[in-house]
Amino acid sequence: MLTLIQARRGSSRLPDKVRLALCGQPLLVRQVERVRRARLVGQVAVITTQERSDDALADLCEQHQIPCFRGSSQDLLDRHYQAARHFGETGGVVKIPSDCPLIDPAVIDRVLGFYLETEGQFDFVSNLHPATYPDGNDVEVMSLAALETAWREAQRPLEREHTTPFFWENSGRFRLANVAWQTGLDYSMSHRFTIDYPADYEFIRAIYEALFPANPAFGLADILDLLTQRPDLYALNAQYAGVNWYRNHLDELKTVDKRQTKTL
């Protein structure tokens, strides 16, 4: 298994968000720590771009002994495929975005565990289609063969930029599975644990400062318990709950509708 965390410094809404501080370390380093707590992730690497502005990210990875691959800035599908080749992966390739610094290692293991337990039965497994976990627990895993097929055949810009739509937009060609939150709840549109706006950083920083000092391995249940006790924290970025990249592509996506996104 190879787990790839895509990261870059460029962000129009919150520049350099992956280097913002969380309890004394850059956000990206904290997220790598959390991902590495999962048992099934295999090798964990950051994949960034070849842009000069991302030299600092490559340096950060070297400083913290995090394997790093640099590839296309716009073609994320190519970056993932070339990284898989670079690291010599022949099995499952896991995609986790760098805007998920609160991701629960147990959620990662649940998705990857399903993929491994059903080995050979599915080309692509995620917890996003449909999503049920709080936004920011994104896990997608695909076989190398499926990734190579997408890399060779995907043509639309959104398929290249977002890496995996070619799979779930072509369900007749790929064997797909989804792992839902075992609680039966759906917090995907109501709870936002991802970072894209300054308010998201205020929320995530507050969660870290409340939970990390006593328990660096805090999980999803700990966060939800805290939000029950501290509704003021939930309110910090509640206005952005449900806002995601789908909102800009509803006219292009066959398998996503307006119920799965929100505009500002």
pLDDT tens digits, one per residue of 79-129: 999 999 999 999 999 999 999 999 999 999 999 999 999 999 999 999 999
Domain of 65 in residue numbering reads as 2-183
Asked, for residue 16, whether it belongs to a domain, the answer is yes
Is pLDDT of 11 > 80? no
At residue 215, the 3 state secondary structure works out as coil
Number of domains the chain contains: 1
- Whether residue 88 lies inside any domain: the answer is yes
- Cα–Cα distance list, 106 to 35, 91, 132, 168, 177 (Å): 9, 21, 15, 24, 18
Q: What is the pLDDT of residues 170-223, one digit of tens each?
A: 999 999 999 999 999 999 999 999 999 999 999 999 999 999 999 999 999 999
253 burial via Cβ count (<10 Å: 0-12, 13-18, 19+): middle
Strands 21-22 and 25-26 turn out to be: antiparallel
Asked, for residue 247, whether it belongs to a domain, the answer is no
Secondary structure class of 99 (helix, strand, coil): coil
Dihedral angle of Cα 206, 104, 67, 26, to the nearest 10 degrees: 0
Residue 52 lies in a domain: yes
Provide the pLDDT for residue 133.
98
The model's pTM is: 0.97
Is 176 in contact with 123 (CB distance < 8 Å)? yes
The chain-wide mean pLDDT, for the chain, equals: 96
The domain that holds 172 is classified in CATH as: 3.90.550.10
Is residue 254 situated within a structural domain?
no
Cα 129–Cα 135–Cα 137 angle in degrees, nearest 5: 80
